[in-house]
């Protein structure tokens, strides 16, 4: 059922309070020009709860501090637009350059790869597919972890079933090899091979939470197309947490439209296998 076509009025005072609270808790920052976008995302929560205003939602989040309420908030804010083989040059660099180098240096040590904002799962599954095609999954102990702050996104990722839009960049031969057509509520969908899906460990994690980052830190981190929603301060702090917990050498892949150029960071930007990578060395 679809209840929520209405967008409630979000006064400037409530916008600033909610914006700053969300920023503090998630790293996501809504510029003044994004007030209507925030109102559109949060109106369903206000209506569903029977609240009289956005301030009621603010007081709930600020003072009740209930994890279930925050999970619902993050689900409402999260952006799920992704697809297989997105910005694949970086995955290719991982397969062709980073993994062979790791294998030569640590032939018996498990390589952990962390997809730090996996959304509905296409990124970590693309990594697993590429590694499998190059036979690295059978030659080297590799652990792939996929996390997101949205429980809703992880639920979809754990199902491993995808619609047509997820395949707009995936080579047809790989779709045929690794996916099986299944009926879906919105038409035909495709389920990924369990041998690939089972290689991923899915986990709820918030990138502004020091404990979450410490637990999942890895030599290879993909954190792509999430910093575009963060404030510079949040990006700076997240990158510093990555660097502090990442072993040496370490590799950070961020989105093509993102840059750490204006930030103070200990990472060095390098070109590896035709892709730009931030390296801890």
What confidence score (pLDDT) does residue 80 get? 79
pLDDT > 70? residue 220: yes
Of 7 and 199, more confident: 199
Confidence class of residue 206 from pLDDT cuts 50, 70 and 90? very high
CATH: 3.40.50.150, 3.40.50.300, 3.40.50.1370, 3.90.1010.10. Which one for 88-280? 3.40.50.150
The phi, psi pair for 202, rounded to 5°, reads -90, 135
Q: Is the pLDDT reported for residue 2 higher than 70?
A: no
- Does the pLDDT value for residue 48 go beyond 70? yes
Residue 183: is its pLDDT beyond 90? no
Q: Are strands 220-222 and 111-115 parallel, antiparallel or unpaired?
A: parallel
Which segments of the chain belong to CATH 1.10.155.10? 12-77
Predicted confidence band of residue 5 (pLDDT cuts 50, 70, 90): very low
Q: Which pair of structure tokens corresponds to residue 28?
A: 């996501």
Average pLDDT over residues 151-169: 96
Nearest-angstrom CA–CA distance, 102 and 94: 10
Asked whether residue 54 carries a pLDDT value surpassing 50, the answer given is: yes
Round to whole Å and give the CA distance between 241 and 55. 33
At 1 the pLDDT is 36
Mean pLDDT of 116-144: 97
Q: How many CB atoms lie within 10 A of CB 119?
A: 24
Q: pLDDT tens for residues 73-129?
A: 999 999 878 999 999 999 999 999 999 999 999 988 999 999 999 999 999 999 999
pLDDT at 228 over 50: yes
pLDDT at 81: 82
**What is the predicted pLDDT for the residue at 4?**
43
> Which residue intervals of the chain bear CATH 3.40.50.150?
88-280
Residue 156 reports pLDDT greater than 60: yes
Q: Is the peptide bond before 249 cis (omega within 30 degrees of 0)?
A: yes
In the prediction, which pLDDT does 66 show? Answer: 83
Mean per-residue pLDDT of the chain: 94
Query: How big is the chain, counted in residues?
Result: 281
pLDDT for position 3: 43
pTM exceeding the 0.85 threshold for the entire prediction: yes
CA atoms of 86 and 123, how far apart (whole Å):
7
Lowest-confidence pick of 4-18, 58-72, 224-238, 263-277: 4-18
Question: Which fold does the domain 12-77 belong to in CATH?
Answer: Chemotaxis Receptor Methyltransferase Cher; domain 1 (1.10.155)
Which region among 4-18, 79-93, 142-156, 227-241 has the lowest average model confidence (pLDDT)?
4-18
Predicted local distance difference test score (pLDDT) of residue 6: 60
Q: What is the mean pLDDT of residues 239-262?
A: 94
């Amino acid at each position: 059922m679809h209840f929520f076509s209405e967008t409630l009025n979000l006064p400037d005072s409530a916008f600033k309070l909610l914006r700053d609270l969300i920023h503090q808790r998630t790293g996501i920052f809504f510029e003044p020009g994004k007030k209507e976008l925030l109102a559109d995302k949060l109106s369903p929560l206000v209506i569903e709860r029977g609240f009289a205003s956005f301030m009621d939602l603010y007081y709930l989040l600020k003072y009740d501090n209930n994890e279930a309420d925050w999970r619902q908030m993050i689900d409402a804010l999260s952006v799920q637009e992704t697809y297989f083989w997105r910005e694949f040059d970086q995955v290719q660099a991982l397969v062709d350059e980073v993994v062979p180098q790791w294998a030569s240096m640590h032939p018996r040590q498990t390589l952990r790869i962390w997809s730090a904002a996996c959304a509905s799962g296409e990124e970590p599954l693309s990594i697993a597919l590429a590694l499998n095609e190059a036979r690295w999954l059978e030659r080297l102990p590799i652990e792939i972890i996929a996390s997101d702050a949205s429980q809703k996104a992880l639920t979809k990722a754990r199902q491993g079933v995808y619609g047509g839009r997820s395949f707009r960049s995936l080579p047809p031969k790989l779709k045929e090899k690794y996916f099986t057509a299944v009926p879906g509520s919105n038409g035909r969908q495709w389920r990924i091979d369990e041998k690939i899906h089972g290689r991923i460990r899915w986990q709820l994690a918030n990138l502004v939470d020091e404990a979450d980052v410490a637990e999942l830190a890895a030599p290879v981190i993909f954190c792509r197309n999430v910093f575009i929603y963060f404030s510079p301060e949040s990006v700076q702090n997240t990158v510093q947490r990555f660097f502090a917990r990442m072993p040496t050498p370490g590799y950070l892949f961020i989105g093509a439209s993102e840059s750490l150029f204006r930030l103070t960071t200990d990472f060095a930007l390098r070109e590896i296998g035709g892709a730009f990578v931030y390296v801890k060395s």
